[in-house]
Chain A
Amino acid sequence: MAAVQVLPRPKAYDDTFWKPITLWLTTTDHKLIGIMYMVTGLLSFVIGGIFALVIRLQLSQPNMTVVDHETYNQLISAHGVTMIFFFVTIFLTGIANYMVPIMIGARDMAFPRVNLLGFWLVPVSILLYYGGFFTGGALDAGWTGYAPLTEKAYQGHSLGVDFWALSIIVWAISGIMASTNFLTTIIALRAPGMKLTRLPLFVWAQISTSILLLVVGAPLAAAMILVEFDRQLGTQFFTTQGRPVLYQHLFWFFGHPEVYIMILPGFGMISEVIPVFARKPIFGYISMVAALFGIVFLSMTVWAHHMFTVGMNTYVEGFFMLMTMLIAVPTGIKFFNWIATAWWGSIEFTLPMKFAFGFLATFLIGGITGIYLASVPVDTQLHQSYYVVAHLHYVLFGGSVFTIFAGLYYWFPKITGRLLNRTLGEWNFWTLFIGFNGTFLIMHTLGLEGMPRRIATYANPAWATTNMIITVSSFLIAFSVLLFFINVIRSWYGGEIAGNDPWRANTLEWATTSPPPPYNFERVPPVRSFMPLRDLREAGEVPAEPEPAPAPA
C-alpha cells in the first residue's frame, strides 16, 4: 500500500474568505456553497434571535406594550419560520454540503449545478418571506399558519400569507434538490473501499435526513399550494366552510419529520465528535445506523400527536400516542451508545466535546418532556401552552443548536484552517448553557400554570416573576451568541493555525489540508474501516505535517 502524500498547503489556490464576488455567485464548489449555506443560516439565526428578544421584552411583565398585538403575532411567526426554515435546516444543509463529499472521499457533489441552484433558491425563499412585511404585514398565524386564520376572510388586508406560502414552496423545492443531490453523491461517489458499512455516522445521518426531506417536502408544498388556491382562486379546502383540520394533517405530515430533519444531522455530528475526543470507536455502529432508520420510519407515523385536541377517535389518538412514544426506543439506543462510547474513554473536554455533552444533558430533558406530551390525556393540558414552548426549545435549541455549535467548533479549523479561540469558546459554552437552562427550564412551569403560548400579553400577576427570569436569561443567550460571532470573526482572521488534523480525528476530511483544495484530495486515501484516517495514522502512513505557515499579520 503506497504511502499517502498529504501535501503542504499548495499556494496555487486562494483560501481566504475574500474571494471575488463573481466567484461566490457562480461557484459550483460544494465547499464554497456549503459556506454560503452556513453564513445564510447564521445570519438568519441573528435575525430570528432579535425577534425572540423583542418577544421576550413584550412578555417580561404583565400588560406590556412594547409591540402591538398584530405586530407581536407577526414576530412570533417570523421567529419560528426564521429559526426552523432559514436557520437550523439551512445551516445543517450547509455543513453537510461541505463535509459529506470530503468524508466519503469524493471531489464534489454529484450534481454541482443543481447544488448551485438549490442554494440560490434559499435567499429567494428568505427574501420572499420578509417581503411580506412590506405588503401590510407578514404571516401572523404562527409558524404553523393554521387555516382558517390564514384565509382571505381573516387575512385579506395583506399579502403576508401569500408571500409565506410562496417562500415555503421555494424552500421545499430547494430542499428536495439538496436531498436528491446528497443521496446520489453518497450512493455514487464514494471512494474505493468506502463501503456502506464504513460510512461515517454523519453521512448516514445525512442519508436519513435526505430521505425524510424527499418524502415530506412535497406534501408541504402541496399544502401551501392549496392555501394559495383558497386565497387567490376562491376554493374552499381549508376555509371556515371547508375542512381546516385537513390543513393540520398535511402540515404536520411535514412538520413532525422536519423536527428530525433538524436533529438527525446533529445526532450525526455528536457521533463524530464523541469517539474522537474519547479516543474510542463509536459503540454499536450498526445499531446507531439502525436507530437512524427507525427514527426515519417512526417520524412519519406520528404527525397527529400535534392534534390531540381537535377531537379524534380515541383509538386513532392511541395509535399516534404509541408510535410517538416508540421513538424513545431508537433515540434511547443512540443515547446509551453515546454514553457507552465515552465510558472507559480518555475524554478531552475540548469545546466540541463540551457542546456535545451539553447537548446530551439538555436533549434528555426534551426527550422526557416529549413522553409527557405524547400521552394524550396529559397533552390535552400541556398542548399549546408554554410547556410545549419549553419542550420544543429543549429539542431544537438544547438539541439542534448545541449540536450545531459542537459541529462548528469541531469543523471550523477544517473550513478556515484556523482554530476558534478557546477562552472565548469557554465563555460561549457556559453562558449559553446557563442562559439556555435559565430561559427554558422554568418555562415548563408557566405552561403547567395555564399560560397559553402565542398570547401577546397577560394580566395574571402570578406569571410575572417567572417571565422576568426568562427574559433576563434570554439576554444571556444573546450575549453568548454575540461572543460566538466575535470569536468566529476574530479567529477567521487571526486564529491559531490548525494544521490538517488538530483533533487526531478518524474520518477522511482530516486527511486533506485545512482548508481543502478545490479538488479536495491530491490522492484519495485508502479506506479500510469506518475510521480510515486512524488506520493510516496507526499504520504510520500519515507523514508528519509541515510546519504551519506563520499567520499573516
Chain B
Amino acid sequence: MRPRSVRILSINGNQPQGIASPGVDILAAVKAWSLTRLWPLAILPSAFLLGSCEAPGGISPIFPTPVSPNGQGIFNTYIGISIPAIIIFVGVEAALLWVVIKYRRSRQPADYVPPQIHGNTRLEWAWTAAPLIVVLAIAGYSFNELQKDFQPISNYDFEIVVSGHQFGWNYEYPQGFTIHQEGTLAGDVTPFVVPVNKLIRLRVQGTDVIHSWWVPAISGKTDAVPGYDNFTWLKVDRVGTWRGECAELCGAGHSTMQIIVQSMSQYDYDVWVRKQQAAQK
C-alpha cells in the first residue's frame, strides 16, 4: 500500500468520485476567493509594521526600542522569527478558511460523496520535512544570537553587583557605595545610574528567594538565584530613563519591586558618583 501515492478506499465498490475535479475547481476558485474573502488577514503584517514604530497606547506587537546591543540582538532575532511565523500563520489560517468556505456541505452538490482518501505518503513526508527545515533554521539563527550576546564577557569596563531581596534591589558600585532601590507601590524608586556607552557587567545575586532583573528596553531577564551568581551586561547608547520590574514572583511585595535605570553622560555620572561617595562616607 505504501508506495502508492494516493491511497483510496472505494465505497460500496464504486469508483472514488470527485477526485479529478477539485484540482481544477481550486485554481479557478483561488482567484475568485482569496483576494476578496481573505483581505482581513492583510491587516496583520501591516499592523506588525506599524507597531514597530512605538504605539503609545500600550498595544504593540514588538518590544520597546532597545538601547543596548544585546537588547538589539534579541529585537533582531524576534523580527527574524516573525518572518516565517507570519507566513505560516497566514498560510494555515487561509487553508482553514478555505476549507470552511469551500467544503461545507451546504455548498456541495446534494449527491456529493467525498473521495475516501486515507493518506498520501509523499504529502505526509513533505509536511514532516517542511516544518523540520523551518525550525532547524530558526534554532540555528537563535543559537547564533545566543553565542553572540549571552556568553560570559571579560572585556567589560567595570562590574556592578545587583542583588535582589524582598522587596528591592541593591546596586554595589566598584567605587565603594551602594544604591538601595527599595520597592514602592507607586514605582518612583531610586534610579540605578549608569554612564552611557560603557560596557558594564552585572553580577546578579539573590539573597533570599529567586528574583529576576528585567528592563525590557535594555535586555532580557536575568534571575537572581540564591547560591550562585548570574551575569548579564549592558551598554546603554543614549541618555535617558528606562523602567523595569522584578519578573519572578517573590512574595506579597512582588509588584512593588520596580526598577529604574538612568543613564548619564560620563561627566554627569562622575559628578553623581562623587556625590554618592560623599553621602555614604
Chain A residues engaging chain B, CB cutoff 8 angstroms: 63, 68-70, 73, 140-142, 146, 148-149, 153-154, 240-245, 278-287, 309-311, 314, 317-318, 321-322, 325-326, 328-329, 332-333, 335-337, 339-340, 342-349, 357, 360-361, 364-365, 368, 371-372, 374-381, 383-385, 442, 444-446, 448-450, 452, 454-460, 462-466, 538
Contact indicator A384/B247 (Cβ below 8 Å):
yes
Report how many residues on chain B are interfacial, defined by Cβ distance under 8 Å.
Answer: 99
Q: A285-B119, A448-B61 are in contact. Are A457 and B96 (CB under 8 A)?
A: no
| A65 vs B170: C-alpha distance when bound (angstroms) | 28
Least distance between A447 CB and chain B CB atoms (Å): 9
Q: Which A residues are in CB contact (< 8 Å) with B216?
A: 381, 448-450
Q: Is B182 an interface residue (CB 8 A)?
A: no
* B93 interface neighbour in A281, A314, A361, Cβ under 8 Å: A361
Interface residues of B in 224-270 (CB under 8 A from A): 225-228, 230-231, 243-255, 258
| Structural contact, B74 and A378, CB atoms closer than 8 A | yes
Q: Is the CB of A378 within 8 A of B222?
A: no
Q: A142-B249, A442-B59, A445-B58 are in contact. Are A339 and B212 (CB under 8 A)?
A: no
Q: Is B99 a contact partner of A380 (Cβ separation < 8 A)?
A: no
Of A244, A281, A445, A457, the residue contacting B118 (CB under 8 A) is A281
Cβ of B9 and Cβ of A281 under 8 Å apart? yes
Beta-carbon contact of B123 and A349 below 8 Å = no
User: For the complex, what is the distance from the CA of A152 to the CA of B11, rounded to whole Å?
Assistant: 67
Task: Fill in one digit per residue for B113-157: 1 if any A CB lies within 8 Å of its CB, else 0.
Answer: 111111110011001101110111011001101110111000000
Q: Are B247 and A452 in contact (CB under 8 A)?
A: yes
Is B185 an interface position by the 8 A CB rule? yes
Interface centre among B11, B12, B139 (most CB of A within 10 A): B139
Of the listed stretches B29-37, B101-109, B192-200, chain A binds: B101-109
With A146-B210, A339-B95 known to touch, is A346 a contact of B114 (CB < 8 Å)? yes
- List, in ascending order, chain B residues with CB within 8 A of A318's CB: 139, 143, 146
Determine whether B186 belongs to the interface, using a CB cutoff of 8 Å to chain A.
Answer: yes
CA distance A283 to B116 in the complex (A): 9
Q: Is the CB of A384 within 8 A of B221?
A: yes
A303–B30 CA distance with the chains assembled, in angstroms: 42
Partner of A380, one of B11, B108, B219, B252: B219
A148-B210 contact in complex given A280-B116, A376-B146, C-beta closer than 8 Å: yes
Q: Does B174 contact A (CB under 8 A)?
A: no
Partner of A378 from the list B77, B143, B210 (CB cut-off 8 Å) is B77
A481 to chain B, nearest CB (A): 24
Q: B162-191, CB under 8 A of A: which get 1 and which 0?
A: 000010000000000000000001110000
A329 adjacent to B131 (CB under 8 Å): yes
Q: Does chain A have a CB within 8 A of B69?
A: no
Q: Are A285 and B118 in contact (CB under 8 A)?
A: yes
Q: Known A142-B249, A450-B245; judge A148-B226 contact (CB<8 A).
A: yes
Q: Min CB distance, A376 to chain B, in Å?
A: 5
Q: Using Cβ atoms and an 8 Å threshold, which residues of chain B touch A464? A: 58
Q: Across the interface, do A444 and B61 meet the contact criterion of CB distance under 8 Å?
A: yes
9 contacting pairs across A/B (C-beta < 8 A) = A281-B117, A314-B150, A346-B103, A346-B108, A360-B96, A364-B92, A371-B135, A446-B58, A464-B58
Tell me which residues across on chain B come within 8 A of A364, comparing CB atoms: 89, 92-93, 96
CB distance from B28 to the nearest CB of A (A): 15
Q: Does B276 contact A (CB under 8 A)?
A: no
In the complex, the answer to whether A344 meets B18 with C-beta atoms within 8 Å is yes
Task: Tell me the bound Cα distance from A467 to B12 in angstroms.
Answer: 57
Partner of A154, one of B134, B145, B149, B209: B209
Q: Is B22 an interface residue (CB 8 A)?
A: yes
Which residue, A280, A282, A377, has most C-beta atoms of chain B within 10 A?
A377
A220 to B150, CA, bound (A): 31
B214 touches A452 (CB 8 A): yes
Say yes or no for B3: interface residue by CB 8 A criterion: no
Contact of A329 (CB < 8 Å), options: B60, B85, B128 = B128
Report the separation of the CA atoms of residues A69 and B249 in the bound assembly, to the nearest whole angstrom: 12
Establish whether residues B254 and A456, one from each chain, have CB atoms under 8 Å apart when the complex forms: yes
Given the contacts A148-B210, A314-B151, A325 and B248 also touching, CB distance less than 8 Å:
no
Tell me which residues across on chain A come within 8 A of B9, comparing CB atoms: 281
CA distance A242 to B210 in the complex (A): 12
CB distance from A375 to the nearest CB of B (A): 4
Chain B residues in 8 Å Cβ range of A63:
185
With a cutoff of 8 Å between Cβ atoms, the chain A residues found around residue B225 in the complex are 244-245, 310-311
CB-based nearest A residue for B248: A384
Contacting pair A283 B135 (CB below 8 A): no
The CA of A70 and the CA of B230, in the complex, are separated in Å by 29
Residues of B within 8 A of A357 (CB): 96, 100
Q: For A309, give its contact among B11, B12, B119, B223 (CB under 8 Å).
A: B223
Complex alpha-carbon distance, A84 and B95, angstroms: 31
* Bound Cα distance from A349 to B108, whole angstroms: 13
B57 close to chain A: CB less than 8 A: yes
Cβ of B58 to closest chain A Cβ, rounded Å: 4
Partner of A377, one of B93, B105, B142, B187: B142
B191 to chain A, nearest CB (A): 15
Are B103 and A342 touching (Cβ within 8 A)? yes
Q: Which B residues touch A342, using CB under 8 A?
A: 99, 103
A149 to B211, CA, bound (A): 10
Residues of chain A within 8 A of B120, CB atoms compared? 283-284, 340
CB of B158 closer than 8 Å to a CB of A: no
Residues in B neighbouring A372, C-beta threshold 8 A = 78, 81, 85
Cβ of B49 within 8 Å of any chain A Cβ, yes or no, is no
Give the residue name and chain of the B residue nearest to A69 (CB). B252
- In the assembled complex, the Cα of A284 lies from the Cα of B121 at a distance in Å of 8
Given A448-B61, A538-B12, A148–B208 Cβ distance below 8 Å?
yes
Q: Which residues of A contact B108 (CB under 8 A)?
A: 346
Residue pair A368, B88 in contact (C-beta under 8 Å): yes
* Closest chain A residue to B63, Cβ basis: A448
Residue of B nearest to A343 (CB): B99
